Amino acid sequence: DGTKKITPTSFTAYWTEDPEINDVKPKFQLWGSDTEDFASVNYYPGSSLYYQNAGTYSIDNAVPFNLTTAITQYNKYWKIITLLSSGPTITNAPTVNKMVMKANVADLFDNKGIAKAWVNFVGATGNNASITDSLNVASVSRITTGVYNVNFSENFDDANYMFTAGGYQNEGQWPVIPARDSTGIVSVSGYQIAISSGSSRVDPSGESVYLSFLGG
């Protein structure tokens, strides 16, 4: 859906303790999710574990806690959950003043919803189509009349991506339509298409065809 993913790199909590009862400390969890409603949650340091001023995941007041080893996953949404140790009352609970989380942003969008590759091409010069413009497409190879293979510059993660296409139509003539070649190869590195007009396969001449590829 185009939302960038982030991963926290450090977390700093600032709190003020009650001067008379200073053994009551706040504790914290970081929640990460890929859905805004947090229907599915990743808990850091764990579902029943906490960052606190004691134990394995000890965090000190106003001291950054390095998260780069503990958290390597990217999530779209994050929450900081603050809890108090058992036993405090309103009068002796610590006051949490602020919390600061630094993070890295993923290099690419979560590209299930945006094009990872597209190409605008017309005709063929020798064994290659004439590309007008493109993204992540190294070349478009002409296999035979009306049959082309789109060669990606960078491979997809798998071959389950989606293909969309647009052609053209001259008045009084059959439309020129690109489609997946049913006998062609679909792979992480390339996609074979057939361009037809009526029942015949044709090379696009004088007009462009447009292809886009969305997915992982």
pLDDT number for residue 32: 92
Q: Which of 102, 204, 109, 94 is nearest to 147 (CA)?
A: 204
What span, in angstroms and rounded, lies between the C-alpha atoms of 33 and 76? 6
pLDDT at 104: 81
Residue 83 to residue 185: CA distance in whole angstroms: 55
Residues written for the chain:
216
Spans of the chain, pLDDT less than 50? 1-2
How many angstroms separate the first and last alpha carbons of the chain?
12
pLDDT at 110: 53
What per-residue confidence (pLDDT) applies to 114? 76
pLDDT at residue 103, as a whole number: 86
Q: What is the pLDDT of residue 216?
A: 64
CB 214 within 8 A of CB 113: yes
pLDDT at site 186: 93
Please tell me the pTM assigned to this model: 0.52
Residue 99 is predicted with a pLDDT of 86
pLDDT of residue 43: 93
What digits encode the pLDDT tens for the residues 105-119? Answer: 765 555 566 788 999
